[in-house]
Amino acid sequence: MRKVTSLIAALCLGLLLGAVASTPAQAKTVFATIGTGGITGVYYPTGGAIARMVNEKRDTYGIRATVEATGGSVFNVNAVMSGDLEFGVVQSDRQYQAVNGLAEWEGKPQEKLRAVFSLHPETVTLVAAEDSGVKDIADLKGKTVNIGNPGSGQLQNSIDALTAAGLNYETDIKAEQVKAAEAPGLLQDGRIDAFFYTVGHPNGAMKEATAGARKVRFASITGPGVDKLVKEKPYYAKAFVPMSNYESAVNTEDVPVFGVKATFVTSADVPDEVVYAVTKEVFDNLEEFKALHPAFAVLTKENMLEGLSAPLHPGAVKYFKEAGLLK
């Protein structure tokens, strides 16, 4: 009996050890959440596209990626730094400010912020009701204008643009600070005269704004002050709103403005293999990725390494070296 009991115990122990030894590495799923922005912008579908690519290789990487709609760039930086998000889509100006301890991070540089790659260009866009008489940013004085919700990248862009045009956002306009998704409805209801939105084009909120009964135009953001702003800030560049995307707008010619780039960031604490997997899937399937949204059409593997201020994450560096994009 003693021999039988010993044999059974040995068999059980062997089965237990065998089960542990044969457990595949991918059975331990790593969860990675991507912070984006409002659901009407480009950030949300961008995060969704990246998540789908990674999830299709779940058996290979053991990563389950999810997407979260958020308040935008500032929220995403802070959430990535606190560990609530693994990745975030962030405007290039906000990445620069965070890593250098400026703006909301004044005196507190986010030393663990890491860049992964950059994405599509985003224009600082000004949409105005035709009956408001606003054709250029200089015409906003005395108007009711949505400048963006707290925690969004566009809020600071709006303030920068207004300041460059010689306008004080606290005294020269009546500033509203609601989410961009709400602005088209407010414009059509006559509750605001104009709104700013930093976004890639074409954009659903812009199409909504121009599709109502109230006639709408895209206003230019120009002038010596704007020229000076673009020259002084390394993350800004002159741009234009392509009017071919918005047939219902009053104006038909492309509208001169300025802009930034969307970037994809993470934390130094996120494992190299996770960042490597995400980077590899996007870059190895770039043509498929570009087909998911018109704003991605201008992307190349080379320009996706531009506009980055934070140090590159080692996981991204590993892929870029393998792909011959970095030496």
Given the structure tokens 């980055």, which residue do they identify? Answer: 308
Residue 139 has pLDDT above 80, yes or no: yes
- Stated as kind and residue range, the H or E segment containing 77 is helix 73-82
CA 248 to chain centroid: 27
pLDDT for residue 248 is more than 90: yes
pLDDT-based confidence at residue 105 (cuts at 50, 70, 90): very high
Mean pLDDT over 101-111 rounds to 96
Q: What pLDDT does residue 298 have?
A: 87
What's the pTM? 0.79
pLDDT band, residue 295 (cuts 50/70/90): confident
Distance CA 265, CA 268 (A): 10
Interhelix angle 272-284/43-55, nearest 10 degrees: 100
Work out the pLDDT band at 3, boundaries 50, 70, 90: very low
Residue 180 has pLDDT above 50, yes or no: yes
Task: List pLDDT tens digits, range 113-135.
Answer: 999 999 988 999 999 999 999 99
* CA–CA distance, 326 with 115 (Å, rounded to integer): 14
pLDDT in tens, 147-164: 999 988 889 999 999 999
Q: pLDDT, tens digit, for every residue of 8-61? A: 444 444 444 444 443 344 458 999 999 999 887 889 999 999 999 999 999 999
DSSP line for 102-115 = -GGGTT---TTEEE
Peptide bond into 184 cis (omega under 30): no
Asked if pLDDT for residue 322 goes beyond 80, the answer is yes
Q: What is the CA radius of gyration of the chain?
A: 24
Pairing of the two strands 216-219 and 113-129? antiparallel
Question: What 8-state DSSP symbol labels residue 301?
Answer: T
